[in-house]
Structure 1
């Protein structure tokens, strides 16, 4: 006997994502879902972004980790409202987790909301959080093989940032090859190379955030 399952098991997740997106659109809050493997530099990128934009943009963060509030504490030290989600063993954030945290924020008073996802190049790519854009970081010490080996992540992402370019003289990483690999699977994706530590190439990222925020507020 065969049983045919017609019900979408992710329907609650999809409803939560739609709920989040409606809330974000109503408040004109630009939401960026940041993803990467562990140690690629998401929190350092956020620290420098906050320092560049704070004062001109009202910024908040939802921080995802399996355990601890260490990254959240780094961002709170910059005066930014940061809410921690600890998944304990979960490998990604989902829209329901985000929806549960929204009552902590006055979204109409937030211009940019960053969601720092769990460090993982597999699971987070498949979950819509209601964000405007998905951004993935790849650090040069990870090597050129990651884009071809994890194509789903890079195919489902609006922007790929190559981080830690200050280490290029010391590691075997080819920026042109990385961009070519990305174009082969996602021709329309934005591609940026920068160092969140030194600030090299950072202005291009900041300019993009300003541009997409203007687009967000016009709708």
Structure 2
């Protein structure tokens, strides 16, 4: 109907194949730090059928869309990060999915009532979102020293409110309150997965 369609691909680029032609999007954004580029740099795909007003007026930098000196170091870093991500996309994805599933199976051994949030197969290879029954995800994380995880998405992880996405998925208040998101990377190790499981085992044993 002529409405521009934008896709936030921050969590997808570098983990799954992304083809803007197949997706049919008008706009697609990439966050550099999600694929090990410097923080503060990103990329925006704009379809040839779409014209955007300048974000900052003045000089003709970035095809006239944003005036000001470009972050050359960041741009080069993002380009190299994309090149590397493309080279290792398939093996890295398989490895992260293996570690993600190792973590998930370990959690179920600790408590078989833990619920997976999201589709069992159609999901990112590096992300695991689960809900702990009868508890608060924030309380669990508060007891886990040296473990970086979150109770929400990366852009809302300091907010104590229940995830609106989980509620929209029909998770309910209790399940939403008990949710924790674990994110893995290309350099995550099996020892780190086992460390998280050991920490969680201690926390869950202490909370009984």
Normalising by structure 2, report the TM-score.
0.27
**Larger RCO (CA within 8 A; separation ≥ 6):** 1
Structure with larger Rg: 2
Normalising by structure 1, report the TM-score.
0.26
Question: Per residue, is there more strand in 1 or in 2?
Answer: 1
